[in-house]
Chain A
Amino acid sequence: MVGIVSYAAYLPRYRLNRMTIFSAMGWLNQALIMNAAGEKAVAAFDEDAVTMAAAAGKRCLHGFKPDEVEALYFATTTSPFKERQCANIIAGALCIPEEIRSADFGGALKAGGSALLAALEFSSANEGRQALTCAADCRLGKAGSLQEMFFGDGAAALLVGGEKPIALFKGAYSLSCDFVDQLRGAETIYNRQWEDRWIRDMGYEKLIPEVVTGLCRRHGLKPSDFAKVIYPCSYGGGRRNIERKLGLAPEQVENDLLQVSGDTGTAHPLLMFSRAFEEASPGDKLLLVSYGNGCDALYFEVTPQIESFKDRKRFSDTLGQHAELDNYTKYLTWRGMIPVELGLRGEEEQVTRWSMTWRSRKAILGLQGSRCNKCGTQQYPPQRVCVNPGCGAIDEMEPLSLSNRGGKIVSYTSDMLAATINPPAIYGNVDFNGGGRAMFEFADCTLEDLQVGGEVEFTFRIKYYDPKRDITFYFWKAVPATTEKEVS
């Protein structure tokens, strides 16, 4: 029998207090005050659904082997590409081999649940081989909208397989219908919703009880059998009604994280699910429900394996990197919602030459370097001629993944001249632990976080966005260890 083998959440470092939004936009819509409690997680200027999914995937695979993963499914409604599979970008970042099945799931907010279901079915049909599901979203509401208040950015990842599952997959039940409560057209950036009461009363309050009841009926269960029911719904009144309808006790319901992260779209049920694992006990029945144009309900039973699972705080750990983004216009700038002046330097062409990046895809996506068989020197980018001045061996290299290796700062600066929507550009030379050196941009930090000799970890980020061709290009950055608490 297959089940969940590993889990992890990823919330970006920056949080926007909802009162900051209200202070800036309350003049437009005073009713926003009713939803101005708590804060939402905000992707940094160099993050999107792909990078957040990769970050969650990296944490999820900690202690597992990327080359044992045989499928990768990515769920999002905010893909940076209509045509180009993001699952493969994520697989590349995680150094998962190319001999895998991959797919992007999207369209509906319930796609996170659908992707997880597909992964479980893949594993079940393939002798318990491992499949990774990553879900992430970075949805936008217009300035001063309720969506802007509710939506947060985040990701979750679940590794499924047959070996040592911490929770067995016991069954599923799905509902799919063209129930349109919110949508985005193919060319639309901002989420559009029909009336609130419609969404709450006819959407969440009707479909979620229906899918839960259907699953219980199919498997001979009652809602009260579950230790935790995990479902997304940002309406407080709606949640109360759902719980009343299903007869759920308060301790049976997983926190909706609205005050912590906001609604992270396709990732949200999986994010909540990762939190549920932190406290789950063997024998607990967990019910995961995703919502959007229908529902997927997945039923799990926690195994004794959970007791020996290391680093169980794979949700809470992401909260430790918290930093407040106290500037609403900076948020708008990061999200591309207001044009800002980058100067003429910011207009220089950045051409993405795909044949070139393909040849170096492992170095670019996977931060793969090389290690000399003669002298053992690590090097990045991968070299054919050993860079060690005392060696110089030719074609004696073996590939080496450096993304989990960490490093130390050799030199650094904070550059006000470089064109970026998040000045200053902070970067410097980094020595990889174990040898070798490269220069990296530093992410999620300020100049004060840096010192020569300081430890860094590596994180997959947006390298640049080419607005002329609508191309997002990814590479790795270094995060000072003071702000990145890596799961260890």
Chain B
Amino acid sequence: MAAGIRDKVAILGMGCTVFGEHWELDSSDLLIEAFGECMADAGIEKKDIQAAWIGNHIDEVNIGKGGCYLASTLHLPFIPVTRVENFCASGTEAFRGACYAVASGACEIALAAGVEKLKDVGYGGLPDSPIFGQLLRYITPNATAPGLFAQLATAYAAKHKMPMEKVKEAITHISWKSHQNGVKNPRAHLRRAVSEDQICSSPFVAYPLGLYDCCGVSDGAAMAIVTTPEIARRLQPDREPVLVKALQIAVSSGEEAAYHGWDGAGIMTTQAAAKRAYEEAGIDKPREELDLMEVHDCFSITEMVTMEDLAISPPGGAPDDILSGFYDLDGALPCQSDGGLKCFGHPIGASGLRMIFEIYSQLLQRWPAERQVKNARLGLTHNLGGVPHQNVCSVAILGL
């Protein structure tokens, strides 16, 4: 295996807007706000940035194609700027571009940004567009994201011969937990505690997922400035740098969609990306070694199967772990300490960087005691784009 980028990249600064329904703000406003926080945190000047990447999914109603939008919003002075798009994993994709630039020595300081303005679509949920190409639109169902992810539940219940009631109980706890954590987070989109009864009895969006099993659809931006560990230590001598321990992306091979080997009860790309990320980071026992996680809980069921795909819970064991409080904020391995996609919100292009922002902030012990994970030194982000049978999965591991 290649050496990877472990300990070759440090995060110098980060910024993240409040996620939510920003009816009064454009994408440019969100980017400028995240940029201000990020630059103040990094303690550098704009001229120090040597390259930038911007992650964004829905260009049609948003920032358009290409790198110009970011460059001309921030007036970056003729540096390389690239817009990347990899579904809901676009934010981590931007981060990967910046990290690779630094790790390769091509740049010393690079910017990764993510932004999405979903509240200009005109309706809830993600806009209906041919994200897998026009041809597949002629032969695949009139489907939505909740319906495609909901199938994880029917396949999971069948695979493990588990009553759907048990699955529903576990995913209800997942959404309950995210709401509990969201209440404590002033940047989160949805900051209201809801009871498990409310969650469980909410109207079906796509069987067996109810309204509260689906994440918020939000506007927001997040940003990171990365550099080498040496420069980070020089510029920020008073803090222990947050280092990239692993950064892996796995993309569906088409096997899930067209071959009969996949059971439909988990996500193959997550399994592949996690395995490679643990190898890159030198992690043998993720359940014991990791201190916290931010995973792609676009739907509660996604978080549930991800606990097994990341090899934290044993096969068929995620519901029991979830119900035991293992992943709660005060549990052994807190997951979604910021409220997750469910409550922090999901401005697509920004979400991967928002997850990294949460891990980064937790590792630097920046949060108030009520939501600070104590002694956190190693955290994981899992940013999934696409749908269970056709997707992009990125797993990043950050540590001190």
Stretch at the interface among B98-106, B137-145, B316-324, B368-376: B137-145
Given A345-B128, A360-B135, A452-B154, also A413-B147 (CB < 8 A)? yes
| Contact residue among A377, A383, A441, A451 (Cβ-Cβ distance under 8 Å from B142) | A441
B76 located at the interface, meaning its Cβ lies under 8 Å from any Cβ of chain A in the complex? no
Q: Which chain A residues (415-468) contact chain B, with CB distance < 8 Å?
A: 415-420, 424-425, 427-429, 431, 435-441, 447, 451-453, 463-464
Range of interface residues on chain B? 35 or more
- Interface contact B259-A440, CB-CB below 8 Å: no
With A379-B259, A411-B152, A436-B259 as contacts: A453 and B123 at CB distance below 8 Å: no
Residues of the B chain whose Cβ atoms lie less than 8 Å from the Cβ of A377? 259
Contact of A417 among B137, B146, B151, B253 (CB under 8 A): B146
Contact with B along A400-424 (1 / 0, CB 8 A): 0000000000111111111110001
**Given A364-B139, A411-B151, A416-B204, A437-B144 contact (CB < 8 Å):** no
Q: With CB as the reference atom, state the residue of chain B lying closest to A389.
A: B255
Q: How far is the CB of B239 from chain A (nearest CB, A)?
A: 45
CB of B257 within 8 Å of the partner chain: yes
Residues in B whose Cβ lies below 8 Å from that of A416: 203-206
A247 CB, nearest partner CB in chain B, Å: 56
* Interchain CB contact (< 8 A) of A429 among B137, B139, B253, B264: B264
Chain A contact residue count (CB 8 A cutoff): 52
B151 surroundings in chain A (CB, below 8 A): 411-413, 428-429
Q: Does B155 contact A (CB under 8 A)?
A: yes
| A464 CA / B141 CA spacing, docked (Å) | 10
Q: Is the CB of B389 closer than 8 A to any CB of chain A? A: yes
Check: A151 CB closer than 8 A to any chain B CB: no
CB contacts (< 8 Å) of B139 on chain A: these are 360, 363-364, 381, 438, 475
A351 at the interface (CB under 8 A from B): yes
CA–CA, A453 and B158, complex, Å: 9
Bound Cα distance A427, B264 (Å): 14
Known contacts A388-B259, A447-B207; is-contact A441 B158 (Cβ 8 Å): no
Q: Chain B 158-184, CB within 8 Å of chain A: the 1/0 string? A: 100000000000000000000000000
Query: Which among B157, B257, B258 has the highest number of chain A CB atoms within 10 Å?
Result: B258
The listed residue (A351, A388, A411, A425) touching B141 by CB distance below 8 A is A425
Which residues of B have CB within 8 Å of A419? 128, 142
Judged by a CB distance under 8 angstroms, whether B254 is at the interface is yes
Give CA–CA (A451, B137) in the complex, Å. 25
Q: Which B-chain residue is minimally distant from A352 (CB atoms)?
A: B138
Is A178 positioned at the interface, with any CB of B under 8 Å from its CB? no
Contacting pair B257 A437 (CB below 8 A): yes
CB of B166, distance to nearest CB on chain A (Å): 16
Asked whether, in the complex, the Cβ of A437 is within 8 Å of the Cβ of B260, the reply is yes
In the complex with contacts A389-B255, A411-B264, A350-B137 CB distance below 8 A: yes
* Shortest Cβ distance from B206 into A: residue: A415
Candidates B137, B138, B144, B258; contact of A436 at CB < 8 Å: B258
Q: Using A350-B137, A417-B147 as known contacts, say yes or no to A437 and B259 having CB atoms under 8 A apart.
A: yes
Q: Within the assembled complex, what's the spacing in Å between the Cα atoms of A439 and B149?
A: 13
Asked, given contacts A411-B152, A418-B147, whether A425 binds B257 with beta carbons under 8 Å apart, the answer is: no
Residues of A within 8 A of B258 (CB): 379-381, 383, 387, 436-438
Would A418 and B142 count as touching, CB distance under 8 A? yes
Instruction: Return B291 CB to nearest CB of chain A, in Å.
Output: 34
Q: Which residues of A contact B207 (CB under 8 A)?
A: 413-415, 424, 447
B interface, CB within 8 angstroms of A: 122-123, 125, 127-129, 134-135, 137-144, 146-148, 150-152, 154-155, 157-158, 203-207, 253-255, 257-264, 389
Can you add 6 more A-B contacts, CB < 8 Å, to A360-B138, A437-B259, A440-B141?
A345-B128, A348-B128, A414-B204, A414-B207, A417-B205, A435-B260
26 contacts between A and B (CB under 8 A): A356-B135, A360-B135, A364-B138, A379-B258, A379-B259, A381-B258, A387-B258, A388-B259, A410-B260, A413-B206, A415-B143, A415-B206, A416-B206, A417-B125, A417-B205, A425-B147, A427-B142, A429-B151, A435-B260, A437-B258, A439-B389, A447-B207, A452-B154, A452-B157, A463-B138, A475-B138
